[in-house]
Structure 1
Amino acid sequence: MPYSSPIRDRNSDTNNRQVIIVLIIFLTVISLIIYGLFAVINNVVNFIPISVEQRIGSLVVPSFERKNLANITNQQLNQLLDNLENKLPENSLVKRDYEIIYVPENVVNAIALPGNKIVIYEGLLKEVESENELMMILGHEIGHFANRDHLRSIGHLILIRIVINYFLGGSEILQSGADLSNLIVNARYSQNQEQKADLFGINLLNKYYDHVNGATDFFQRLNEEAKNNLNIAFLSSHPLPEKRVRRLEKLIKENNYSIKDKTALNITIER
C-alpha cells in the first residue's frame, strides 16, 4: 500500500486556498476599479461642453447623412421637431438646435447622436399612426440629450473595449468614425436612463398638446409585434415595451394627465 504524507497534503490544500484567496482579492480590486471608472464617466459627461460633443458628433454624423435624402419627408420631420423644441425651457442645456436625419431604410429605430442629431428611420415612420406617437418618440430622444445618456453610453462602451484589450491583447479602441457609429447604433441605455428619458418625453408631450394621448400606442404596437418574434432594431436598444407601457400608464395616472383626441400624422414618406 503506497504511503501518502499527510504533511504534503495539508501543504497542498493550504497553497490552493491561498491561490483562491489571492485570485478573489485580485478580481475584487479589478471590479472596484472598473466600477469606479464607470462612476467617473457618469459624472464627467455632465461637464463636457456642447462644442466638444459636436466635435464627437462630426466623427459619426457623416455616415448617417450620406444615407439621408433632402426630401419632403425630411423637411416635415424637422418642422415637427422645431415645433416641439419651442416647448423646451429657455437657457438650459437641453435647449439646442436639434435636427432630424431621415434615413430611408426599413429599420424600426430612432437614435440620438452627439451633435444634436436625431436619426429617424423610414421603418419607424411606417409603424407610427399618429403625430402624438412620433412626438413622444422625439421627446424621449431629446430626454437622452438632456441627461447626456448618449455620451455616457459611448464612454461606457469605450471603457469596456479598453478593459477587453488590456486583458485579451490588442491596442485599437476605435479604428474610425464608422467604428464609433457602430458603437452608438448598438448602444443600450440602462433601465434608469430609459425611465428618465420617458419621463422627460411624456412631460414634453403634455406641454405640447396639453394631454398625453398616444404616449403608449407605439410601444403597445411593438409589444404585439415582439410577441410574434419579429426582429425590430428598436427593441435591441430600448426596454421591453410591455414594462415600458405599464410604467408610462403609471406616470399618466400619478400626474393626472388628460387624454384628448390625437392628431393625425401628416407626413409624406418619400424615398
Structure 2
Amino acid sequence: MSDFRLWHYDGVTAVRRSVLLRPAGDGFLLEEPESGWTGAQARWTDLTVIGADKDRSAYGHSAIPGWRMGFSGEVPDGIAMHLPKAERYGRWIDRFGFWPAAGLFTVAAALVVWGALEAPGVIAPLIPQSWENRMGDAMVGDFGGRFCHTAAGDAALHALVAQVDPDHEAREVTLANIPMVNAVTLPGGRIILFDGLLQQARSPDEVAGVLGHELGHVRHRDTMTGLVRQLGLSVVLGGAGGNTGAYLNGVLAMSYGRDAESAADGVAIDQMREAKISPAATAAFFERLGGREAGRGAQAMTWLSSHPLSAERRRRFAAAVKPGTAYRPALDQAQWRALRGSCAADRKVAEFWGDGL
C-alpha cells in the first residue's frame, strides 16, 4: 500500500482528482479518500508515457482515451519500478544514439535504391513506433479545431469503434467537420472520418466497412509505407518539425497499391464478420459511390481518389455475406442520428472553409 498522492483524470469526466495509489495484483487502484471515489483497476503495462522528467511526470492509458495520471517530485521506489520509461526516439535508438541510428538508416536507404518499389514495405516496419506516433500527433494539429464532439455523438462513435476495432489497434478514431466523402489514416494509428462520408452513407454498416478498411491500413502500417515511398526516409529522419502540412497533404493525396487495398479489404471483412455486421451495405456503398464518381468526374480528396475501387473489390464484399447469419446493425437508429448530427450539433467546432486544411 502506498500513500503517495497523485492527480488523475478518469477519461470520462473532466474532474481532476487528488488520489492515492494502491497496488493490486499486476496493477493498481486509484482512490480519492475525500469523496470515496475508486477508479477501475489498471495494469502497469497499460500505462503510456505522456511526459516524464525529473520533477514532473504524466502517464496515459493505452485503452482509455483521456485517462491521465501525473505527479511531481520524486517517485517512491515501489511505484517507479513499474512505470514505463520515456523514449526520446525509440528503445534501440536511445540505446545507440540518434546519429548512429540515422547513419544506419542512410546506409539502408542506399542499399535498397535498386528495389525502390519494394523497399518502403521493408523499411516502414523498422521505423520506431514512437517516431510514427509523434508524426501523426503533429499532423492532427493541422486540422485546427475541426474535430466534432457531442456527448451522444462521441458515445455513438465509441460504440462503432468498439465493434470494428475491439483490440484497440487504432490509437484514436475521430470525426472531422469536413464535407468531403473521405476517411484518412494518419501515421501512428490515427483514423479520421470526414463528416461528408457520414452524410453520404445511408447506414452505419456502410461506415463500419470504411472504418474496417482504414483499420487494415493501421494494422499493416500502410501510411508509413506510402510516405516513405513518396518522400523517402527524410520524412522519418527529419521528423515532423516544420513540414507537417506537406506531410499531411502527402497522406491525403496518397493512393495505396492494389495489394495494400486488398489486404485492407480483408481486414474490414474479417472485423465485420466478428462483429456480426453485414458487408452487404459496404458493397452497396462502394457501388453507389463509384457510380456517382464516374458520372461527374474525379474530385479532390474523396475516398475514391485515394482508395480506387474496382468491380472485383465490390464483389468481394458482396460475396462475404453469409446466408443464414444473424447480422445486426452497427448502431441503432438513435446512435446513428447522433453520430451523423455530431458536427452540426457541435457549436464549438471550426467550420470548413476551403479545399485546404
TM-score, normalised via structure 2 length: 0.55
Of the candidates 57, 64, 68, which is equivalent to residue 136 of structure 2? Answer: 57
- Residues 259, 230 of structure 1: alpha-carbon distance in 2 compared, 3 angstrom cutoff: farther
Query: Which residue of structure 2 lines up, in the alignment, with residue 78 of structure 1?
Result: 158
Cα distance in 2 for residues equivalent to 1:132 and 1:107: 19
Cα distance in 2 for residues equivalent to 1:259 and 1:229: 37
Tell whether 2:208 aligns with 1:110.
Answer: no
Query: Which residue of structure 2 lines up, in the alignment, with residue 119 of structure 1?
Result: 192
Tell whether 2:305 aligns with 1:236.
Answer: yes
Tell whether 2:268 aligns with 1:188.
Answer: no
State the Cα deviation string for residues 125-180 of structure 1 (Å, max 9, x = none).
01112222111111111101111111101111103999xxxxxxxxxx99621111
Query: Which residue of structure 1 lines up, in the alignment, with residue 51 of structure 2?
Result: none
Query: Which residue of structure 2 lines up, in the alignment, with residue 21 of structure 1?
Result: none
Identity percentage over the alignment? 24
Q: CA RMSD in A?
A: 2.9
State the Cα deviation string for residues 18-69 of structure 1 (Å, max 9, x = none).
xxxxxxxxxxxxxx96451342321121233322210121221111253213
Equivalent residue runs for 1:8-47 within 5 Å: 34-47=113-126
Contact 1:55/1:115 (8 A) holds in 2: yes
Cα distance in 2 for residues equivalent to 1:247 and 1:206: 13
Please identify the structure whose Cα radius of gyration is greater: 1
Cα distance in 1 for residues equivalent to 2:282 and 2:228: 30
* Structure number with higher strand proportion: 2
Of the candidates 169, 172, 192, which is equivalent to residue 99 of structure 1? Answer: 172
TM-score, normalised via structure 1 length: 0.71
Contact 1:211/1:258 (8 A) holds in 2: no
Please report how far the alpha carbon of residue 245 of structure 1 lies from its aligned counterpart in structure 2 after TM superposition. Answer: 0.6
Q: Mind listing any 5+ residue stretches in structure 2 that lack a counterpart?
A: 1-110, 345-357
Query: Which residue of structure 2 lines up, in the alignment, with residue 226 of structure 1?
Result: 293
Contact 2:217/2:264 (8 A) holds in 1: yes
- Residues 260, 38 of structure 1: alpha-carbon distance in 2 compared, 3 angstrom cutoff: same
Residue identity opposite 2:229 in structure 1: H
Cα distance in 2 for residues equivalent to 1:258 and 1:213: 14
- Residues 258, 183 of structure 1: alpha-carbon distance in 2 compared, 3 angstrom cutoff: farther
Of the candidates 200, 216, 228, which is equivalent to residue 267 of structure 2? Answer: 200
Cα distance in 1 for residues equivalent to 2:234 and 2:132: 20
Contact 1:213/1:260 (8 A) holds in 2: no
Cα distance in 2 for residues equivalent to 1:153 and 1:97: 18
- Residues 204, 261 of structure 1: alpha-carbon distance in 2 compared, 3 angstrom cutoff: closer
Please report how far the alpha carbon of residue 201 of structure 1 lies from its aligned counterpart in structure 2 after TM superposition. Answer: 0.4
